[in-house]
Amino acid sequence: MTEERRVFTKEFKEQAVMLIESSGKSVAAIAKDLGIRENNLWR
C-alpha cells in the first residue's frame, strides 16, 4: 500500500525555519511539535 506524499506550502516551510531559528528548540523537537518527521526539516 502506498502512502500519498504530503505537500507543504511555502508559508509552512518558512514558519518552520523561523521556529527553528528563534525558539532555541532542537530540530527534532520542532518536528515533533509540527507532527512531521525530522528529516523533512533538513531538506
Structural domain boundaries in the chain:
10-41
Map residue 1 onto helix, strand or coil.
Answer: coil
Residue 22: which H helix or E strand, with range?
helix 10-23
Asked whether the whole model's pTM tops 0.85, one would answer: no
pLDDT in tens, the chain (43 residues): 678 888 889 999 999 999 999 999 999 999 999 999 999 887 6
Q: What local confidence, expressed as pLDDT, does residue 32 receive?
A: 95
Encoded amino acid at 30, one letter: I
